[in-house]
Amino acid sequence: MAEPLLSRVPRSALAAGIVALIATGLAVLAALAGSVLPDRTGPPVESLVVERTVLSAPGTIELVVRNAGPDPVTVAQVSVNDAFVAVTGGEQPIGRLASETLRLDYPWENGLPYTVSLLTSTGAVIEHAIPMAAATPAATSASLLQVALLGVMIGVVPVLLGMTTLPLLRRAGPTASRVLMALTVGLLAFLAVDAGIEGLEVGAAGAAAFGGSMLFVLGAALAFLLLAGTQRLIPDTTRAGRVALLVAIGIGVHNLGEGLAVGSALAVGELALGTSLVVGFALHNTTEGMAVVAPLTALPPVPAQPDRTVRPGRLLLLAIVAGGPAVVGTVLGATLTTESHATFLLGLGVGAIVQVIVLLVPQLRRPEGGLDLPVAAGLGAGVVLMYVTGLLVAA
């Protein structure tokens, strides 16, 4: 019997033919849509979202706006507290998903609230509130260095401090080791839930045109799948070392989003810096260092087996992986972050942490199966510990 015709066509040629067929069909649909659809009778749908507010020298307010609607938007006039002001920028229509910087000439004062009203060419009014005016710090090399140093103090150093508990953790027996892993899972679970709540809230306040809260879901899914697909490619001579590195990666991606939030708050003057805040972050993130080294309790230092010895260089690498992203996050947050950026990065952190939890949970079971009371207590202790230390970093 002769083979079917399609079976003799090379797969590359078949794929190209299918893609061409689909593209042709979509082009025909697009050409016919204009003649089939009824004429539009309603007004344009206009939606502007203020992504960033910059209060520079007294007398200037800068608004970075983005068109989150389907139709172009033209800003005709702008008023501040019901007084019309001179505006630079926005003379041309702002297309869908495009952004524009509006510079308002207005003598604002520190500590006072302001309501900015954007009047479009169709008469629609879009309002933006500034709860309390404060000068936006200028992004200079010195200020960015200071922000980066803050990232080191709240990210890398606390993780290193938490990792110093490794010698003590190593003396634990098999049951205590499972309790420590349960504590790690509890810590990570709290981080995932906390970041998830924050990510959904930030996403809801962002531009709906980019998906809003769906950006968080997208980031979480991508991180989860990427970490799941690449964990076997991570080079390490032991499974415990690989697990520790995966925990550090998950915490590091989370700390990127945490640093982003800190840098954003610094940029708009909403974060009250002080010794108590730095110490609070240190206590909070020290527990993350404990979570990183908990898997290494299975690697006791044996001089005759160098591959099972946890060298200082490895610990330093784990600390940089887990805490270093906080430095990058604070710098990014102080310069160019928006709600959409923050939502996506928080999603990445949650997805990475969930993948690590999935990896660790099987290690909590007893040899005969199931969880015992000490492991359950370890899970609860991890959640409570993160909750208590999290209260110290409220800003």
Encode pLDDT of 248-273 as tens digits: 888 888 888 778 777 776 665 555 55
Distance CA 148, CA 192 (A): 25
Summarize the confidence of residues 197-209 as an average pLDDT: 76
Measured at the CA of 261, the angle between CA 279 and CA 325, to 5 degrees, comes to 75
Encode pLDDT of 146-186 as tens digits: 888 888 888 898 889 888 888 877 776 667 777 877 888 88
Encode pLDDT of 84-143 as tens digits: 999 988 888 998 888 899 999 999 988 889 999 999 888 889 899 988 887 777 767 777
Q: Using an 8 Å Cβ cutoff, are 351 and 223 in contact?
A: yes
Q: Could you tell me where the DSSP H helices lie in 37-156?
A: 141-151
Sign of the Cα pseudo-torsion (131, 134, 139, 144, in order): negative
Q: Residue 278: enclosing H or E segment and its boundaries? A: helix 275-293
- Scanning the structure block, which residue is given the tokens 């928006």? 338
Packing angle between helix 141-151 and helix 239-267, nearest 10 degrees?
A: 140
* Encoded tokens for 244: 């520790």
Residue 134: count of CB within 10 angstroms of its CB: 15
174, burial (CB in 10 Å: exposed 0-12, middle 13-18, buried 19+) = exposed
Distance CA 188, CA 363 (A): 15
* Encoded tokens for 384: 């409570």
3-state SS assignment for residue 356: helix
What is the domain partition of the chain in residue ranges?
48-130, 141-393
Cα radius of gyration (the chain): 27
pTM of the model: 0.70
Q: What is the phi-psi region of residue 29: left when phi exceeds 0, alpha when psi lies from -120 to 50, beta otherwise?
A: alpha
- Residue 229: closest CA among 359, 119, 376: 359
Under the banding of pLDDT at 50, 70 and 90, the label for residue 304 is very low
Transcribe 5-53 into DSSP letters.
TGGGS-HHHHHHHHHHHHHHHHHHHHHHHHHHSPPP-SPP---EEEEEE
User: 48-130, superfamily in CATH?
Assistant: Immunoglobulins (2.60.40.10)
